């Protein structure tokens, strides 16, 4: 197995190779452990995903790992862009979000991005902590959560209207109306659709 390493803003892997159920569960468990060590587990965690192949499956898997660790999982009802997941963290005051995405990488990749409680990119100390937790899990050879962690709930979440309201609130509507811009938007099957 190739090592699981967090690079710029997350871990990326090739689907059906190193980005598989087992490794996704390892990373999710490491994030659960991180949430406990930083005292954010009680705030729950959002699970979001983009339009890449099987991203919804991996979101379900991550939500299950969270719930099995006693962390309430709020799974987005449908795919969304990463900024919407970050908005959801602040909107729900959660302990963070786990976003299933490979961002700009080619279609045969997928990945996991952890968005901490403040809704921005994870700092190096956070990613180093998650990597340490991953190595610890690999060395122990078990994915079982500690016995003292009970089962938590999994609920669906839709913050799309609040997110769009937030975006509209950031725009200068009168300037846009006066300019009458012509816009062509092609989401290329991405989460922006």
Catalytic positions: 103
Q: How many CA atoms lie within 13 A of 163 on its CB side?
A: 18
Matching residue, tokens 């490491």: 30
The phi, psi pair for 21, rounded to 5°, reads -55, -45
DSSP letter, residue 189? T
At 114 the three-state DSSP class reads: strand
List the beta bridge partners of residue 4.
Answer: none
Q: How many CA atoms lie within 13 A of 170 on its CB side?
A: 6
Calpha distance 35→31 (Å, rounded): 6
Task: Output the CA torsion sign for 90, 119, 103, 56.
Answer: negative
Angle between helix axes 21-37 and 55-68 (nearest 10 degrees) is 40
């Amino acid at each position: 197995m190739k090592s699981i390493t967090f690079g710029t803003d997350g871990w990326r892997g090739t689907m059906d190779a190193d980005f598989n159920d087992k490794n996704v569960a390892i990373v999710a468990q490491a994030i659960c452990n991180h949430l406990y060590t930083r005292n954010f587990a009680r705030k729950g965690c959002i699970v979001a995903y983009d339009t890449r192949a099987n991203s919804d499956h991996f979101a379900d898997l991550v939500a299950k790992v969270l719930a099995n660790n006693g962390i309430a999982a709020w799974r987005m009802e449908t795919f969304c862009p990463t900024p919407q997941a970050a908005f959801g963290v602040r909107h729900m005051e959660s302990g963070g979000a786990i976003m299933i995405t490979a961002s700009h990488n080619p279609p045969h990749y997928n990945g996991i991005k952890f968005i901490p409680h403040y809704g921005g990119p994870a700092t190096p100390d956070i990613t180093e902590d998650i990597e340490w937790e991953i190595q610890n899990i690999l060395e122990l050879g078990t994915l079982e959560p500690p016995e003292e962690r009970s089962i938590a709930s999994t609920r669906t979440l839709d913050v799309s209207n609040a997110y769009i309201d937030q975006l509209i609130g950031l725009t200068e509507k009168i300037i846009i109306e006066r300019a009458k811009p012509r816009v062509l938007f092609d989401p290329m099957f991405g989460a922006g659709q």
